[in-house]
Structure 1
Amino acid sequence: MDIASSSCYSLLFLCFLHQSAQALLDPTDFLALQSIRKALHDVPGSSFFSSWDFTADPCNFPGVLCDSDKVIALSLGEPRAGSPGLTGKLDNAVGKLSSLAEFTVVPGRIYGHLPQSLSQLKNLRFLGVSRNFISGEIPAGLGQLRSLRTIDLSYNQLAGAIPRSIGALSELTNLALSHNHLSGSVPSFCLAQSLTRLDLKHNMLSGSLAPDSLPPSLQYLSLSWNRFTGPVDRVLTRLNNLNYLDLSLNWFTGPIPAQLFSFPLTSLHLERNQFTGSVQPLNEVTIQTVDLSYNQFSGEISPMLASVQHLYLNNNKFIGQVPGSFVERLMTASIQILYLQHNYLTGIAISPTAEIPMSSTLCLQYNCMVPPPQMTCPVKAGNQKIRPAQQCHNH
Structure 2
Amino acid sequence: MDRKGGGRMVLKLLLHLLLLCLTHAQLLPLEMQALRDIRGSLQDMGGSSFFSSWDFSVDPCTSFSGLVCESLHGLNRIVMLNLGSQSADSTGLTGVLHPSLGSLAFLKQLTVVPGTVTGTIPDSLGMLSELQFLGISQNSITGPIPDSFSYLKSLRVLNLSKNLLSGRIPSGLGNPPNLIAVVLSHNSLNGPIPSFTSPVIHLDLSQNALSGWLPVLPATLEYLSLTKNSLTGSLDPLSSLRNLNYVDLSFNQFIGSVPANLFSLKMSALLLQRNQLSGPILPSSPVSINKIDLSYNSFSGQLSPFLAHAHYLYLNNNNLNGIVPHEFVNSLLSANLQNLYLQHNFFTDISLQSDMSLPTVSSLCIQYNCLVPPAQSACPWRTGKASSRPGYQCEGRHS
Cα distance in 2 for residues equivalent to 1:32 and 1:133 = 22
Cα distance in 2 for residues equivalent to 1:293 and 1:55 = 63
**Do residues 205 (structure 1) and 205 (structure 2) align?**
no
Q: In the alignment, what sits opposite 1:335?
A: 337
TM-score, normalised on structure 2? Answer: 0.92
Q: What is the 5 A alignment of 1:234-313? A: 234-313=236-315
Cα distance in 2 for residues equivalent to 1:387 and 1:329 = 26
Preserved contact between residue 265 and residue 288 of structure 2 (Cα < 8 Å)? no
**Do residues 123 (structure 1) and 163 (structure 2) align?**
no
Q: Cα offset for 1:349?
A: 0.4
Q: Cα offset for 1:19?
A: 4.2
Preserved contact between residue 240 and residue 264 of structure 1 (Cα < 8 Å)? no
Consecutive unaligned residues in structure 2, runs of 5 or more:
1-12
Q: What is the 5 A alignment of 1:29-108? A: 29-60=31-62, 61-68=64-71, 69-108=76-115
Cα distance in 1 for residues equivalent to 2:151 and 2:52 = 35
Q: Which amino acid aligns with 1:226?
A: N
**Cα deviation per residue 1:182-240 (whole Å; 9 max; x = unaligned)?**
00011111x22x11111100000001124xx11111001111100011111x2111111
Q: Cα offset for 1:21?
A: 2.7
Q: In the alignment, what sits opposite 1:378?
A: 380
Cα distance in 2 for residues equivalent to 1:109 and 1:350 = 56
**Cα deviation per residue 1:35-65 (whole Å; 9 max; x = unaligned)?**
1011111111111111111111111211101
Q: Cα offset for 1:82?
A: 4.3
Preserved contact between residue 79 and residue 107 of structure 2 (Cα < 8 Å)? yes
Q: Which amino acid aligns with 1:200?
A: L
Cα distance in 2 for residues equivalent to 1:361 and 1:209 = 35
Which of 194, 208, 220 matches 1:217?
A: 220
Q: Match of 2:68, SS?
A: strand
Task: Quote the sequence identity (%).
Answer: 48
Preserved contact between residue 189 and residue 208 of structure 2 (Cα < 8 Å)? yes
Q: In the alignment, what sits opposite 2:230?
A: 227
Q: What is the root-mean-square deviation in Å for CA atoms of aligned residues?
A: 1.6
Give the number of equivalent residue pairs: 380
Cα distance in 2 for residues equivalent to 1:132 and 1:300 = 48
Q: In the alignment, what sits opposite 1:5?
A: none
Preserved contact between residue 255 and residue 275 of structure 1 (Cα < 8 Å)? yes
Q: Which amino acid aligns with 1:201?
A: S
**Do residues 147 (structure 1) and 149 (structure 2) align?**
no
Cα distance in 1 for residues equivalent to 2:176 and 2:395 = 55
**Cα deviation per residue 1:360-389 (whole Å; 9 max; x = unaligned)?**
111000000000111221111111110111
Q: Cα offset for 1:171?
A: 1.4
Consecutive unaligned residues in structure 1, runs of 5 or more:
1-9
Q: Match of 1:305, SS?
A: helix
**Do residues 172 (structure 1) and 179 (structure 2) align?**
yes
Q: Which amino acid aligns with 2:46?
A: P
**Do residues 326 (structure 1) and 333 (structure 2) align?**
no
**Cα deviation per residue 1:269-302 (whole Å; 9 max; x = unaligned)?**
0000010111111111111100000000111111
